[in-house]
Amino acid sequence: MNIGVLALQGSVKEHIKMITSVNKKIGVVPVRTIDDLASVDGLIIPGGESTTIRRLLDSFNLGTPIRERILAGMPVWGTCAGLILLASHIDGESAYFGSLDVDVKRNAYGRQIDSFVADEDFDGMYMPMVFIRAPMITRVGDGVTTLAEHDGVPVAVRQGNILATAFHPEMTRDNRVHKYFVGMIDSKD
């Protein structure tokens, strides 16, 4: 199995380290080109600045091929900026991949001083969740399952082959969300 981490900007190294900690036999590919993308069975879109990442995706013609792979069923997981890029509606700006039927609002929890850590339940697993200038999920579509909530607001959602988290499991020592994503790729084969 090969898992790609979109490697244009952001928490790339951390995701690579976490996937390796789940299973050393998994190949982890930093994805910067169409050829890199073709070699992976699943893709993680890391945390970072969504404006920067979408700009680079467009400049290097990676947006359309990734959107097509998602439509064709490739498991994909967006953390924070990745969630924003996957959402079908972004408050105040145009959607990017638009694959996940949720509305998001960028920086809705506030500025850096409002960033926080919370302990919450993710699909039956209690874990620390790190929110950094996080986006808020303001609407969840009918076909979307909420896997975690904080203060009654969804912070992790799944729609078929698409997983998205407003928080950063890659910034903790807890690799259970990474295991969950590897499981999504396993069960697809």
Of 2, 17, 20, 32, which one interacts with another protein (CB under 8 A)? Answer: 32
Of 17, 67, 98, 107, which one interacts with another protein (CB under 8 A)? Answer: 107
Select 7 or 144, whichever has its Cβ closest to another protein.
7
User: Under rule CB under 8 A, which residues in 73-102 are in contact with another protein?
Assistant: 80-81
Q: Which stretch binds another protein (CB under 8 A): 34-42, 70-78, 108-116, 142-150?
A: 108-116
User: Which of helix, strand or coil describes residue 122?
Assistant: strand
Angle between helix axes 176-188 and 12-22 (nearest 10 degrees) is 70
User: Which of helix, strand or coil describes residue 75?
Assistant: coil
Of 23, 39, 51, 64, which one interacts with another protein (CB under 8 A)? Answer: 51
Rounded distance, CA 136 to CA 121, Å? 17
Contacts (Cβ under 8 Å, ≥6 apart) of 105? 90, 91, 92, 135, 136, 138
Select 11 or 99, whichever has its Cβ closest to another protein.
11
By CB under 8 A, tell whether 133 contacts another protein: yes
> Which token pair is 48?
């970072």
Of 106, 150, 158, 178, which one interacts with another protein (CB under 8 A)? Answer: 106
